[in-house]
Structure 1
Amino acid sequence: MSQYPRDEFDKVPETSTRQGVHRERLIPARSSGVGLIITVGVLALLVGLAAYFVLPRLGIGAEGNASPAASETPAAEQSESPSDSPSDSPSPAPSPSSTPSASPSETPEPTPPAPVADRTQPVVVLNASGISGLGAGISTRIGADGWTTAQVGNWAGTPLQTSVIFYNGEAQLANAEELSALLGIPTLSESPEFSNVTVVAGPGFQ
């Protein structure tokens, strides 16, 4: 026991929560957890602010932010390309009124068919070569090709240097050309003095 006499301070129950001024006030154990949570929250806030303001300046995350803009550029170009490139669009077909039409005067006229030889027209055969029987041989030769001989005789005109086929007008030209090819006589002469196509066999006729 204490050697000092008891006073009013000794009347405080031992279970009382009151403490003397000389004793240190103890912090409850549960208050330490709240302080830890507050500290962690402040640190997390500081880290978030640093990531928001500092990291973009350092270039971190710039590629991720730039990719949406880059992906939008082709879409914008594609949307503008049809209107910006008129050369790719099909050109309008010319209207029928703008197409030049050929006038009737410019239409080419059909070429008339070549005249055909008429073997029903009679042929006169004259011998100017001095060879006896030559006129009859020519008559037989053209008769085998379907021609009709109207007369066979001797040439009474100016002496000729070669064989000649005479014809009168365009109506007899086709017959004269056909006989020229058949007999091998290239010389043709138009003359109104002959009423029929006349074959005159001159010197050297074969």
Structure 2
Amino acid sequence: MANFPKDRFDTLPDDLVRVGAHRAPKRAGAGWITFAWAALATGVLVGAGLIGVGILDSSLSFTEPTSEAAPGGTTVPTAEPVTDPATVADREITVTVLNGTATAGLQDDAATVLEDQGWTIGSQASSSATDITQTIVYYSDAANEDVARGIVLAIGVGDVRLSDAYQGAPVTVVVGSDFVPAG
């Protein structure tokens, strides 16, 4: 190993805080500037990722579920409602009931009405939204439109919509404030 002679840079005074020009004091606000650049880079990457996924996956949609509506805004009936759940027992359809209002337990009341008429209830819960005014029965497969229309008749209020918003649930009832429980 080579031995180099000592020079003036090898010995430093004890009171010297900085050593070299590259160790200048930090500027005020330098941390915020770094944070801003990182936030900007994150936003650009997330935006580019969403655009990329939107281009590659045509089923991605940022819109609310829609219904089949006539020009006047009314829903066009396209299937005869099922009034007897036993006639569709071979389809093994379970109904999910969600409470879209601030009234506690409304999903239980709607589920009871449906169970009393023979419908199979899969689950009941509160919806993430609590300001739903109109009861909507969503069905994920066009073949289940007749069941959805039968459920509207069973609870006495609502409209039906074909939607993939509730994956894994053949029929989902989102109870709105227009539903009034019996009794």
Higher Cα radius of gyration? 1
Which one has a larger percent helix, Structure 1 or Structure 2? 1
Q: Report 1 or 2 for greater relative contact order, CA contacts < 8 Å, sequence distance ≥ 6.
A: 2
